[in-house]
Amino acid sequence: MNNSSAGLRFKEAMEKNRPLQIAGAINANHALLATQAGFQALYLSGGGVAAGSLGIPDLGITNLEDILIDVNRITNVTDTPLLVDVDTGFGPSAFNVARTVKSLIKAGAAALHIEDQVGAKRCGHRPGKEVVSTDEMVDRIKAAVDARTDPNFLIGARTDALATEGIERTLDRVNKYQEAGADFIFAEAVHEIRLYAEFAKASGLPILANITEFGMTPLWTVAELHAAGVRLILYPLSAFRAANKAALKVYTHLLQDGSQQAVIADMQTREELYQSIGYYDFETKLDKLFKKT
């Protein structure tokens, strides 16, 4: 494993890739697959942990320990730097935010983003969102920055204010988020591509575009987002959605057909799985350790 700072590896990936595409990985296996496909950065979604690991909605129900379980599993198998969604920081006080930051760094994460929704948060692409005051979000960012034990660990500020406060007030927010020490801006539910340039101008920071399916943001291409000045492109749950659809298809055929023959061509083979997870290396290690003489 690479002993260099995960945050430094994330920064290096940002410099080498303009923009940097970040693959959502719902678990350690998907993290390996995304790395093997060539992605230089990974993402653990709070909504993904809620739905994928716990089978519950993304409504602020999960806690820090739920996130850390999946963070540790991912960072244990790949050095590809991991960006983590920490919702509103997992607690009402600066001490909760500090604990979150320190725990993520210890677990090997490279970066996080914290948002300006209220504690009882909602999905960023659903109606009824509420945001805290600018001052309260600034306090969250300051607490995160102060708690950072690795100077290369990145702290992103996500704003959901566009849907409720409009562009001008949201731009004022991101300017203050930059002043508080944020390293990048995650503008959620952007519906016009020109707005990314306005966020960049107002904050002077790299801008993250969340290109999630079935939401309020169009599925703009890398070329389009690059032209708009976006530095980070996030695909939070693309593979998760595809895997869920495939799983339901398999379960349906097993019951209806009494066999998996109709879907066998859609499956990852045993050999492909073994290659992906390094099965043969483990087996060889066992043979060497316990070889009989």
Rounded CA separation 89/102 (Å): 12
The response to whether 238 counts as a known ligand-binding position is no
Catalytic status, residue 30: no
User: Max alpha carbon distance in the chain (Å)?
Assistant: 76
Q: Which of 85, 116, 183, 198 is catalytic?
A: 85
Judge whether 241 is annotated as a binding position.
yes
Confirm whether residue 47 is marked as ligand binding: yes
**Is 192 assigned a ligand-binding role in the annotation?**
no
Whether 43 is catalytic? yes
Catalytic option among 175, 210, 231, 235: 210
User: Any binding-site annotation on 89?
Assistant: no
Active-site option among 9, 30, 113, 125: 113
Selecting among 9, 148, 158, 231, the annotated active-site residue is 158
Q: Which of 30, 43, 152, 198 is catalytic?
A: 43
Of 58, 70, 116, 160, the active-site residue reads: 58
List the catalytic residue out of 70, 160, 188, 198.
Answer: 188
Cα distances (angstroms) measured from residue 159 to each of 13, 184, 200: 24, 11, 13
257 is catalytic: no
Which one from 123, 125, 198, 231 is the annotated catalytic residue?
Answer: 123
Active site residue 281: no
Residues 139, 176 contacting (CB under 8 angstroms): no
Q: Is 169 a catalytic residue?
A: no
Q: Is 66 part of the annotated catalytic residue set?
A: no
Binding residue per annotation — 210? yes
Assess whether 123 carries a catalytic annotation.
yes
Q: Does residue 58 carry a catalytic annotation?
A: yes
Q: Is 278 annotated as a binding residue?
A: no
Q: Is position 119 annotated in a ligand binding site?
A: no
Distance (Å, whole) CA 269 – CA 274: 9
Q: Which of 70, 115, 183, 198 is catalytic?
A: 115
> Is 46 assigned a ligand-binding role in the annotation?
yes
Q: Is 211 assigned a ligand-binding role in the annotation?
A: yes
Q: Residue 183 catalytic?
A: no
User: Does 29 count as an annotated binding residue?
Assistant: no
188 is catalytic: yes
- What single string gives the DSSP state of each residue in the chain? ---S-HHHHHHHHHHHSSSEEEEE-SSHHHHHHHHHHT-S-EEE-HHHIIIIII---SSS---HHHHHHHHHHHHTT--S-EEEE-TT-SSSSHHHHHHHHHHHHHTT--EEEEE-B-SS---TTSS---B--HHHHHHHHHHHHHH-SSTT-EEEEEE-THHHHHHHHHHHHHHHHHHHT-SEEEETT---TTHHHHHHHHH-S-EEEE--TTSSS----HHHHHHTT--EEEESSHHHHHHHHHHHHHHHHHHHHSSSGGGGGGSPPHHHHHHHHTHHHHHHHHHHHT---
Annotated catalytic residue: which of 9, 30, 70, 87?
A: 87
Annotated binding-site ranges = 45-47, 85, 87, 123-124, 158, 188, 210-212, 241, 270
Annotated binding-site ranges for substrate = 45-47, 123-124, 158, 188, 210-212, 241, 270
Residues that are catalytic = 43, 58, 85, 87, 113, 115, 123, 158, 188, 210
Annotated binding-site ranges for Mg(2+) = 85, 87
